[in-house]
Structure formats: structure tokens, C-alpha cells
Structure 1
């Protein structure tokens, strides 16, 4: 005898009731299981917060009592005027024996036969602005120097204005100044005027 299709309906209902019988809530297609889960989480977090608050309150009460007990043990001491009149001795540090000397660029008066070539520009205005920028960027290295613009015609490129820092009496001083500029990544070439 063939099994009718209506036989499966009660079997399915029985299986579902046995499977879902242990669940405390019913699944809702619009809300899912998440609503009940969220409520359980909120209840648990409230309980945890309450227990934490109780623990902190009990700690605070014990701290207050220990502070009260420690105040009883503090001794008060007053300073006399003679203690305040003493000044701390002044200590002069001894100079270091092996201290390295920091190389300083030579301070040079604006006169001499040598100069340092610091940059070249296509216009006179840009060259003057470049000198101002160099004086701001390198105040120690350019102190004592004066600006001289020298125009140079280069075939196929046009006229350029060299920015020269004038004021070196010899080539050695100009070389030393260029070394200081080059340490700071600035182009520099000593030239004779």
C-alpha cells in the first residue's frame, strides 16, 4: 500500500514540536532570535555593572578609613626662620676637557678680492630675492658679506645673474665659507673678482 502525502504532515509537525519544545521563546520571522538575545545581554550587563559598583564602593569605604587612620600618625614640623635664611651654595660646572669646538664660519668684513658664488637666476629681481632668502636661511654664514650681482651671457641660454657674497680677502677664507655652506646643502663656489 502506498503512503499518502498526508502522512508526512503530522510526522513533520511532531518532529518540529520535539525539536523546538526545549526553546524558551518562539522564533519570529520579523524579529528573529536577536531580540531575546539582546534582552538577555542587557540583563547580564546590568547585573555586572551593579556588582562592579558594589565592589568599588566597598573599596572606597576601606580607603577612607585608612586615610583617617593615617592622619592620626602624621607629625607636624615647623621650620624656624634660621632654616630659611640659608641659601643653597652656587655650583659652577668645570669646563669639559675634551669638548669639541663647533666650526664657525669666519666673520669677514665686506671687502676683498674674493667672493662666493651662491646661485644664478634669469632675472635681476629673482637674484635679489634669492640673496634675501639666503641671508634668512644662513644668517651666520652670510654675516659680514654684501651682495654683488654679476651678469653672465651664456650662448643659447641667455643672460644670468650670479648671486655673489663679497667680502673675502683671500681664497682660503672663501673656501672655508663654501665648506660651511656645503655642509648645509647649499651650492657654493669661491671665485676671484
Structure 2
């Protein structure tokens, strides 16, 4: 028997693993695969978003005050049709702001549950802002959203990102009151399609 004869059994397991990851990265599928694994983690309920026990209430004076600027004042966004939208135009509504990117596996992992949340709390008093930070990525973002079939509103920055929304990690999610104040913030992926989040948004919108 020729002991020098090649055999696949002689190849170390790590070589196969490396080859699989190389193919995934070469084809761009690694983001989807990792996102899928992280989606399974979200399904366990271990990463549910943490909401305050109750929405912060405002006094009548605060509700009628126009001197206090809202979070993100002056920020401009572009929707997927190319229309520029002023973030301040959403003041008076509860804003669910999620900062994400197509190359971010945790972002991809949580987006289906955000879509489900969007469908359940559909209201003219609650605005969803899915803000992509893909660099020069309008076409890429449009193709991604179309492929996934998401219907929530998607935007890209049209001006410098406000300091309030700068986070050391993405995805990052902010819930902003009708008065323009950040009342909840989540850094990293989370499950948002929960009774707690739905109740929090609806109560905040009814204030």
C-alpha cells in the first residue's frame, strides 16, 4: 500500500472550517449566516429589549414648550426615494430609531422582529426610522430591503450624525418621546417584538 497516497481523511478539520469561512466571505454570505445564528439567540428571549417600567410623563408646561430642542435637531435624512426628510418633522410622534448597516450581522438578526413590531403598532402617532449607516450605499440598501421584503421606513443620513445618536456599537436603538426626548436606549441587538415594548410605545404615544 502506498502510504504517501492522498486521503481527505488526512486533512485537519480546521482546514475545512477555514475553507468554508473563506467561501462565505468571498460570496458575501457570512453576514447572513452569522445573522441567522444570532436570530436564533434572539428567539430564546435572552436578549429582549429593556424598557423603563413606565414612560416618563411630562408636565403641561413641558408639553407646550417650544424652547427645548428635540434630540437630533437639525439632522437631515434621505429616504429610499431620494427625498430629504428633516428629523424634526417627526416631533410630536413617538420615534423608534434604529441605527443599522447591511454588513452588520446583529442588525440583520434583529430586523425581522422590528418589522413584526412595526406591523403590530402601526399608528400615525408612532414613527419608525430605520437609519442605515452604509457608506455610499443607497442602491445596496434598496436591494437589501427589497430582497428581505421589509416595509418599515428606511433612511440614510443626509447630514452629520447627531451626537445623541453616536454609539460605540451598532445596532443601536433609541425611543424618543413626542416631546423629543430620548426615553430609552438599547446598544446592541435585541428582541423588540414583545408585549413590554409594544405597551411602552403605545402608552408613550397616548400621552
TM-score by length of 1: 0.23
Structure possessing the higher radius of gyration over alpha carbons? 1
By relative contact order (CA 8 Å, sep 6+), the higher-ranking structure is: 2
TM-score normalised per structure 2: 0.22
